Amino acid sequence: MKEAPVLILGIETSCDETAAAVVADGRRILSNLVSSQVELHARYGGVVPEIASRQHLLLLNPLIDDALKEAGVQLKDLQAIAVSHGPGLVGALLIGVATAKALAYAARLPLVAVNHLEAHLYANQLEGAVISYPAVNLIVSGGHSELLLIDESGAIKSLGRTRDDAAGEAFDKVARVLELGYPGGPLIDKMAREGNPAAIDFPRAWLGNDGPYDFSFSGLKTAVINHLYHARRRGEQINMPDLVSSFQEALVEVLVEKTIAAARDLEAQTVLLSGGVAANSHLRRRMQERLRASLPAVTLHYPDLKLCTDNAAMIAAAAYPLYQRKGFASLDLNADPGLGIGRP
């Protein structure tokens, strides 16, 4: 007889997306609902933590009901409740953690605590990608830019990370200065298609031997702000598409070249992209072109757009191997806003 699937409810509230999903056996998505708070935060040009927490509180319970309904299951049919307990905004994380604990207690189900960053790594597997190891994974989101090496056993080694702004943060901050709106990434991605990426030669922080796989984007952000300031002072007309296209080019070039260098140095078989910035069309295209040209045997995977940005299906998927090894959390689980990823 075929074994019944393991059904896990995933809950995600680490930033400004309230999300709930039901996933079977860590791979098959039965429902995946995201209620974005983007419009609420847009008028402030970024996420306001207090507003995020309050919205999670309002939205989460009905969203969980909807996710169960859409999956055609009830609480009693589940095998576990999984929640992202860090990193993220502490007040936002606490809403998810408290809700997951209450549900696990009431339904007598095991609770699985998931690292939000590790969950981003599962987005590719959710789409059925067959991954050969070792793999280099670039996680680029609003809060993080991490270059990781993953081996066959699933062990994660941290190769490098940002020293200042995260890639998504740089997109969002540049968009705010240019008064384009929030979140900046998708808006810049779209506008950049109309511009010339070579129009302005913005700086690239390569960091040399000091940090071959580390990133730094605050200098680039400052260069964009200075360019704007001087152009305005001189009364020059600013070509916005050229400006954002040149900014995006500088940022993407660094992400791509450092990822390729890591894949070459560490003899990776696969390159994986995840996190919100992995939705960037220029990053996807450039990474593919550069891999084909310099490491043709290495396969590239990036998730579907809706699995790049924060979602709960990736939380349930990341919980599955923990569930299988009975890596359960106790009911005194707390939020861990500074949780990191990978051993150094």
Chain positions contacting Zn ion, by CB under 5 A: 141, 310
Choosing among ligand KG4, Zn ion, none, which partner's interface includes residue 189 (Cβ < 5 to 8 Å by kind)?
ligand KG4
Write a three-state SS string for 240-262.
HHHHHHHHHHHHHHHHHHHHHHH
Check binding of 280 to ligand KG4 (CB under 6 A). Answer: yes
Structure tokens that stand for 209 in this block: 């031997």
- Distance of closest approach, residue 187 Cβ to ligand KG4, in angstroms: 8
Check binding of 253 to ligand KG4 (CB under 6 A). Answer: no
Check binding of 310 to ligand KG4 (CB under 6 A). Answer: yes
Nearer to Zn ion, 110 or 303 (CB): 303
> Helices 218-233 and 240-265, interaxial angle, to 10°?
160
Q: CA-CA distance, 180 to 273, in Å (whole number)?
A: 26
Check binding of 309 to ligand KG4 (CB under 6 A). Answer: yes
Surface-to-core class of residue 201, CB atoms within 10 Å of its CB (0-12 exposed, 13-18 middle, 19+ buried) = exposed
- Distance of closest approach, residue 280 Cβ to ligand KG4, in angstroms: 3
Nearer to ligand KG4, 183 or 342 (CB): 183
SS3 198: coil
Q: Closest Cα to residue 143, out of 253, 49, 262?
A: 49
Q: Closest Cα to residue 261, out of 220, 201, 207?
A: 207
Nearer to ligand KG4, 91 or 275 (CB): 275
Total interface residues for ligand KG4 by CB under 6 A: 19
- E strands along the chain, which residues? 7-12, 17-24, 28-36, 80-86, 111-115, 135-140, 145-150, 156-161, 270-274, 299-301
Choosing among ligand KG4, Zn ion, none, which partner's interface includes residue 136 (Cβ < 5 to 8 Å by kind)?
none
C-alpha R_g of the chain: 20
Choosing among ligand KG4, Zn ion, none, which partner's interface includes residue 110 (Cβ < 5 to 8 Å by kind)?
none
Contact 154, 131 (CB under 8 A): no
Check binding of 52 to ligand KG4 (CB under 6 A). Answer: no
Which of positions 63-122 make contact with ligand KG4 (CB under 6 A)?
none
Check binding of 165 to ligand KG4 (CB under 6 A). Answer: no
Nearer to ligand KG4, 10 or 186 (CB): 186
End-to-end CA distance of the chain: 45
Nearer to ligand KG4, 26 or 142 (CB): 142
- Distance of closest approach, residue 332 Cβ to ligand KG4, in angstroms: 26
Q: CA-CA distance, 11 to 34, in Å (whole number)?
A: 10
Choosing among ligand KG4, Zn ion, none, which partner's interface includes residue 279 (Cβ < 5 to 8 Å by kind)?
ligand KG4
Find the binder of ligand KG4 among 96, 160, 186, 303 (CB under 6 A). Answer: 186
Residues that bind ligand KG4 (CB under 6 A): 15, 141-143, 168, 171-172, 183-186, 189, 275-277, 279-280, 309-310
